[in-house]
Amino acid sequence: MTAVCKPLVVVPVFNHGATLRQVVAQALEVHPHVLVVDDGSTDGGADNLAGLACEIVRHSANRGKGAAILSAAAFAREQGMTHIITLDADGQHDPADIPRFLPQIHAEPTAIVVGARDFSGPNIPGSSRFGRKFSRFWLRVQTGCDVSDVQSGFRAYPVQVLQQLTLGEAGYAFEVEVLVKAAWAGFPLRDIDISVYYPEPDKRVSHFDKLRDNVRISLLNTRLTTRSMLPVPHRKFAVDGEGRVSVIHPLRSLRLLLADNATPRELALSGMLGMALGTLPLIGLHSISILFSAGYLRLNRICALAVSQLCMPPLVPALCIEAGYFMRHGRFLTEISMETLGHQVLQRLGDYILGSVVMAPVLALLVAGPLYGLACLVRRSLKSGVGHE
């Protein structure tokens, strides 16, 4: 990214002619470069911008908000702009908040900056409050990143970031997809506080179709969550290639993860999580619980899942059973027979559960130290250009 940031303010519009001119006029008061993307409007709203020093790009038919943002990014690139700052045409966003984005995009030119709306004011729809919490939760599961207002359309996008991402959503779901895929690609996600205005319910004009758009967003979240749980690294902006990680080649796997911007501390904590959950008797649910927990805690899913493979039967379950048996009887189980493992299966399951509660943190700590030390050694070898396994 170039060191000099040149933002273009973008107002995507579809049939918001009643508020468009005021939004654009106010934007021009605080920023000299404003683009309106008329996404196939039929109300003639963009025709009311005469006399305002803004640029206009028109779509012959309605293609969706995501398509409008990508058209704006293409225009910005042609004009030598580095960022686009998008705000809605319905008057919900205050153009006076545009300068709030500038320090952040200068500080982190590759970050997508999202305006977090102040929901303490009047007329805030209950659906918006719920949607905000819902989307925030799933973004954290899918990426490990925490953005307080995933649904806000007041944002700053680096043009080069939009160029790098493969985006398939053209409508409102675009605003979810772009954050998830940007985070996967290694770009920072940031948020800043902004104001918001919601008119009374009978005066609102929204083109968000509650059935159609919610179904699309739900399907998108399903796809993104499924992809996030696959133990395959995402392609990063500065790193080419993907690879699978397994405990069969630990040094090779560590080199891959460290080259993928993981840190020794993160890998150690991830290994602890994988070992702890892998030790527990979550029969049939180990992988899903590890992937879900690692995503929510912002740890490395791939490392956690790889380490959990050490818990495969028979060694770790046997240790847990022995520990549980000892806690209950004061001695170890030494008789391995149809009686102790067959007829007494419920007792052994109880031993397994009890023992795993003790062994999970013990084994997690035993894994953490060597994994951290090994990761530090591998990171040093990467920095020195030596990476032999």
Measured CA to CA, the distance from residue 1 to residue 233 in angstroms comes to: 24
Q: What are the DSSP calls for 88-145, one per residue?
A: -TTS-S-GGGGGGHHHHHHH-TT-EEEEEE-TTSTT--HHHHHHHHHHHHHHHHHHS-
- Based on the fold, state whether residues 23 and 100 are members of the same structural domain: yes
In the listed set 229, 263, 279, which residue is the last one of a domain according to the structure? 229
- Based on the fold, state whether residues 154 and 68 are members of the same structural domain: yes
Query: Is 243 inside a domain boundary?
Result: no
- Based on the fold, state whether residues 259 and 194 are members of the same structural domain: no
At 105 the pLDDT is 95
- Based on the fold, state whether residues 53 and 102 are members of the same structural domain: yes
- Based on the fold, state whether residues 119 and 191 are members of the same structural domain: yes
| pLDDT by position in tens, the chain (length 389) | 445 899 999 999 999 999 999 999 999 999 999 999 999 999 988 888 999 999 999 999 999 999 999 999 999 999 999 999 999 999 999 999 999 999 999 999 999 999 999 988 777 877 788 888 888 998 988 888 899 999 999 999 999 999 888 898 888 889 999 999 999 888 899 999 999 988 776 555 565 566 776 788 888 888 888 887 665 666 666 433 433 333 344 555 666 666 556 788 888 999 999 999 999 988 778 878 888 888 888 888 878 887 887 887 778 888 999 999 999 889 888 877 777 767 787 888 899 899 999 999 999 999 899 888 888 887 787 666 544 43
Query: Is 2 inside a domain boundary?
Result: no
- Based on the fold, state whether residues 321 and 213 are members of the same structural domain: no
- Count of domains forming the chain: 2
- Based on the fold, state whether residues 20 and 166 are members of the same structural domain: yes
**Domain around 57:** 7-229
SS3 167: coil
CB count within 10 Å of CB 189 equals: 18
SS3 15: coil
Q: Which DSSP category does 342 fall into?
A: I
- Based on the fold, state whether residues 270 and 217 are members of the same structural domain: no
Please report, for residues 89, 256, 364, 368, the alpha-carbon distance to residue 270 in angstroms, rounded to integers and kept in the order given. Answer: 44, 15, 10, 9
Query: Is 236 inside a domain boundary?
Result: no
Residue 156's H or E segment, with its range, is: strand 155-158
CATH number at residue 97: 3.90.550.10
Query: Is 237 inside a domain boundary?
Result: no
Query: Is 64 inside a domain boundary?
Result: yes
Measured CA to CA, the distance from residue 185 to residue 281 in angstroms comes to: 34
Measured CA to CA, the distance from residue 280 to residue 387 in angstroms comes to: 35
- Partnered with residue 194 across adjacent β-strands are 117
- Based on the fold, state whether residues 97 and 181 are members of the same structural domain: yes
Instruction: Give the burial string for 336-359 (b: 16+ CB within 10 Å, else e).
Output: eeeebeeeeeebbeebbebbbbbb
- Residue 116 and residue 100 in contact, taking contact as beta carbons nearer than 8 Å: no
- Based on the fold, state whether residues 41 and 112 are members of the same structural domain: yes
Question: pTM above the 0.85 mark?
Answer: no
